[in-house]
A = this chain, B = another copy of it.
Amino acid sequence: MTPKVAIIGGKGLMGRWFKRFFESQGLTVLVADKDTPQTPQEVARLADVVVLSVPIPQVEQVVRQVAPHLHPQAALMDLTSIKVEPVAAMLAHFPGEVVGTHPLFGPATKSIKGRTVVLCPGRGEQWLNWLRGFLLEAGAQVKITSPEEHDRLMALVQGLAHFVLIAVGATFRHLGADLKELEDFATPTFRTILDLTRHHLSQDAILYACIQLQNQANLSVLSGFEEVVQRLVHLIHHQDAPGLIRLLEEARGWICGGEG
């Protein structure tokens, strides 16, 4: 059986990415978005697998709209970067199979080969197993975990990593740094950080604000980072060489193995 897939929000960057991907694997894909001939409800009714590719704050509203129209044997999945609330919303409003899904890559990715997709089982195993096998067959790596564990890990993998790049970019602006001049004097490390910062900030500000704001696990990670930043600035301000060297060596032990 070749399942029919409906992508709701299928005109967005990730929606278009997954349309191409599913089609390249031989599936039939229906697409609904704000300006499509078919409505979300219509495509939801016709599909075996309904994929929500909508911004995080819209997940619950779209779930409420489409859930009553899904076939009872269909699967409902999302593609958002957080999993606790979206999976809870899908479970609350749709009584069938639910799979929270988070592709750990962006729409500029050429192929799914070697990329990771996280699956958070919501309800049921039939479609979960199909999706897992389908992704593995296409060359993806699949990680299966709970929504809570996913969000806890993403608070570091996305929350902290994005936060740092946003903070670096905002610091350049805050200090009025001349980036052309800095590029002339760039070390390889600085060049990599600047490229990451530029790449990150060039993308959808609303999406990245959502990733910061909507993962409830972020705040304790970001507060931890803030504390460490304050401690480091304090050590440097007070020219505390032994304290700074100790902090560097302890971090090295943790990150690089050894005495940590």
Contact = CB atoms under 8 A, between A and B. Distances in A.
Interface of A: 104-106, 116, 118, 143, 150, 153-154, 156-158, 160-175, 177, 179, 181-182, 184-190, 192-193, 196-202, 205-206, 208-210, 212-213, 218-233, 236-237, 239, 241, 244-245, 247-256, 260
A165 B184 contact: no
Majority secondary structure, A binding face: helix
Contacts of A241: 209-210, 213
Contact of A167 (B116, B220, B228, B256): B228
Contact of A226 (B104, B172, B229): B229
A245 B190 contact: no
Contacts of A170: 228, 231-232, 247, 250-251
23 contacts: A154-B185, A157-B185, A164-B193, A165-B189, A167-B225, A170-B231, A170-B232, A171-B221, A173-B251, A173-B254, A175-B220, A179-B254, A189-B200, A201-B248, A201-B256, A208-B248, A209-B245, A209-B248, A218-B236, A222-B232, A222-B236, A223-B233, A226-B233
Given A206-B245, A232-B166, A251-B166, A185 B224 contact: no
A185 B226 contact: no
Contacts of A223: 233
Contacts of A173: 250-251, 253-255, 260
A152 to B, nearest CB: 10
A213 B244 contact: yes
A104 to B, nearest CB: 5
Contacts of A225: 167-168, 171, 229
